[in-house]
Amino acid sequence: MPDLDRLELALQASNEGIWEWEIGNPIIMYSNKVLEFLGYPAALAPNLFLHPEGYIHQEDLAPFRVTLEHILESEEEIFGIDCRYLHSDKMWRWLRIRGAVVRDQDGQALKMAGSMIDITRRRNAEIALEEERFRLYTLIENIPVNVYFKNKDSQFVMANTATAEKLGAACVDQLIGKSDHDFFDSRHADQSLLDEQRIMDNQSKEESSLEKEVWEGGREESWVMTSKRPWLDHNGEVRGTFGISTDVSELVNTQNRLIEVAEQLQTRNTEIEEEIQLAREVQNAVLDQKILPLPQNSANTKHRVHFATRYIPVSGMSGDFYEVLPLSDTSAGVLICDVMGHGVRSALIVSMLRGLMEKERHSASSPEHFLQGLNHGLSGILQKANITMFATAFYAVIDLEKQEIRCASAGHPMPLICYRGEVELFAADKKLKGPALGLMPEISLTSHSLTLEDLQYFMLYTDGIYETENAQGEAMGIERMKQALQVSQNTSSTSLDEGLQTVLDATAAFAGSQGYGDDICLIAFEIKPNSSTQ
């Protein structure tokens, strides 16, 4: 077998192609693999070295030419560059081009030969990863708290600018490798070291600890609210500690003022901490708390409402959640929300929304105004952090006095309802489904009312359940959910809780070994005659 054929065979195994060019000759030899990368047959393939324009991306064209000219005119022998190439399908692809120069005895370049490989997937992944890191960096740099990571020796390995400024450093780099002993009085630094060693040894958590900071050099004492946790790598091994701290000196120094003022400051401080403690907030969001039925007293209402929920997160941090807001003894608001994506960003948005819900309690009886208020607050936060995120939400107000349900949707799927024993998709006016939360500062939403008479069941859900796929890539779909719910409704002895489980069991059976591909969040309520009024 010729040497060239052996080389071509070896490069095929590595997914690389080869090329050879006699300097100045318009004709260039490309292997089949290179022709595949370029998207042209041999007769039409361009000579990238003679005519890069029109094929090499405008931003990469000058570096390509400079690198080529340098290798031809200097004594160097190795040519190498990564650049974007316009494929025949009009899509930009990343190519890694490597080559070696053959020179005559006078050093004149005679020939170049080398390899080429398509690195598009890897480069796109690197760009996406860099973008993700930039977004997280933007968040950490814009939140008004101190964030830091320390190694096993309690030395800083990462911190935000707010931490550097607090410690009196000109920049974050001046913190790296230093410890609390470089900034604080030895007694305070010694105690911090002991605390961090204990956290690492026991893998325990220190939540909302009030610390008095005694500084080196007679600087005025300060107070911080600190939370620390063990820093674990992907294998679960301890790498050090990480934490956040919020300066609460004003709160402590004004503790003898009016109780109301002190409580407001404490609440604000707690809200800030909860937005940063992502994992803790997610854990609190998915707690399976029992929801009391309506009415919550002996009110003489015609109907009684019972609630049931299911929550199955597929990862440690999620963007799905639900909430039931008591409005009176005979009314309550039911919210379900789905934040785009997973992980840190989604869990942080959940934290923000929970905080905004408290601020919008005054409008909680009006579905459209309540969702518009959440959107206004969320959009303002996201614009400040220069992040594009959104959340869909559906909010319903149950009013037993008026015997009706009023609801509004911000881009969220319509609920399943059961009327007179028949399960159907809630088919309200199409205008009911408005835009999602967080995309624009002001949105217009409308509400829809339906009577409780003959209404038996009302189920809200996130897209994780109906987008669950089987091994063939087919989605569960809302129609199959309806069928499963109808089966439970046809059994008079089936409880509300068992009805939700029937839907989940049907989804799990449909997915098989695939499992759930997304978080599952369900909340339903059942309307029954109030036996105390019969």
Residue 227, H or E segment: strand 222-232
Domain contains 467: yes
Helices (H), 386-491: 463-466, 477-489
Map residue 367 onto helix, strand or coil.
helix
Domain contains 367: yes
Map residue 16 onto helix, strand or coil.
coil
Instruction: Name the pairing type of β-strands 92-103 and 109-118.
Output: antiparallel
Q: Are residues 372 and 411 in the same domain?
A: yes
> Which residue do the tokens 């490309």 mark?
30
45-53: list long-range contacts, CB under 8 Å, 24+ apart.
47/21, 48/85, 48/97, 49/21, 49/112, 50/26
Of 430, 402, 492, nearest to 456 (Cα)? 492
Domain contains 347: yes
> Quick one: tokens of 61?
């064209």
Last residue within a domain, chosen from 215, 247, 276: 276
pLDDT for 326 equals 92
Q: Are residues 253 and 340 in the same domain?
A: no
Q: Are residues 327 and 432 in the same domain?
A: yes
- The pair phi, psi for residue 468, each rounded to 5°, is -60, 130
pLDDT for 428 equals 63
Domain contains 91: yes
Last residue within a domain, chosen from 68, 92, 118: 118
Where does 33-165 show beta strands of DSSP type E?
78-86, 92-103, 109-118, 146-151, 156-159
Q: Are residues 321 and 368 in the same domain?
A: yes
Kindly list the distances between the CA atom of residue 405 and the CA atoms of 231, 238, 363, in Å, as whole numbers in the listed order: 47, 51, 16
How far apart CA 112 and CA 25 sit, in angstroms, is 11
Sites in the chain below the pLDDT cut of 50: 256, 262, 265, 272, 276-278, 280-284, 286
8 A C-beta contact, residue 102 and residue 79: no
Domain contains 282: no
Q: Are residues 85 and 105 in the same domain?
A: yes
Kindly list the distances between the CA atom of residue 345 and the CA atoms of 108, 130, 281, 373, 460, in Å, as whole numbers in the listed order: 57, 15, 12, 21, 24
pLDDT for 47 equals 94
How far apart CA 503 and CA 202 sit, in angstroms, is 41
Give the range of the structural domain holding residue 98, as residue numbers without chain letter.
3-118
Taking the alpha carbons of 411, 416, 417, 423 in that order, is the dihedral positive or negative? positive
**323-333 tens-digit pLDDT:** 999 999 899 99
Domain contains 123: no
8 A C-beta contact, residue 56 and residue 48: yes
Residue 355, H or E segment: helix 343-359
409 residue type, one letter: S
Q: Are residues 259 and 336 in the same domain?
A: no
Cis peptide leading into residue 41 (ω within 30°): no
Last residue within a domain, chosen from 118, 153, 170: 118
- The pair phi, psi for residue 111, each rounded to 5°, is -150, 150
Of 115, 155, 147, nearest to 4 (Cα)? 115
Q: Are residues 435 and 343 in the same domain?
A: yes
Map residue 532 onto helix, strand or coil.
helix
**97-115 tens-digit pLDDT:** 999 999 988 889 999 999 9
Q: Are residues 460 and 382 in the same domain?
A: yes
Of 67, 70, 40, nearest to 55 (Cα)? 40
- The pair phi, psi for residue 371, each rounded to 5°, is -70, -35
* Tally of domains within the chain: 3
How far apart CA 353 and CA 347 sit, in angstroms, is 10
Instruction: Name the pairing type of β-strands 404-410 and 433-434.
Output: parallel
Q: Which neighbouring-strand residues pair with 126?
A: none
Q: Are residues 230 and 349 in the same domain?
A: no
68: CATH: 3.30.450.20
Residue 324, H or E segment: strand 320-328
- In the DSSP assignment, the letter for residue 203 is T
Domain contains 281: no
How far apart CA 247 and CA 180 sit, in angstroms, is 16
How far apart CA 104 and CA 110 sit, in angstroms, is 7
How far apart CA 345 and CA 139 sit, in angstroms, is 9
Q: What is the end-to-end Cα distance of the chain in Å, rounded?
A: 95
Domain contains 270: yes
Q: Are residues 138 and 249 in the same domain?
A: yes
Q: Are residues 168 and 220 in the same domain?
A: yes
358: CATH: 3.60.40.10
Residue 229, H or E segment: strand 222-232
How far apart CA 213 and CA 220 sit, in angstroms, is 9
> Quick one: tokens of 143?
């939140």
Kindly report the length of the chain: 534
Q: Are residues 159 and 198 in the same domain?
A: yes
Where does 360-434 show beta strands of DSSP type E?
391-399, 404-410, 416-419, 422-425, 433-434
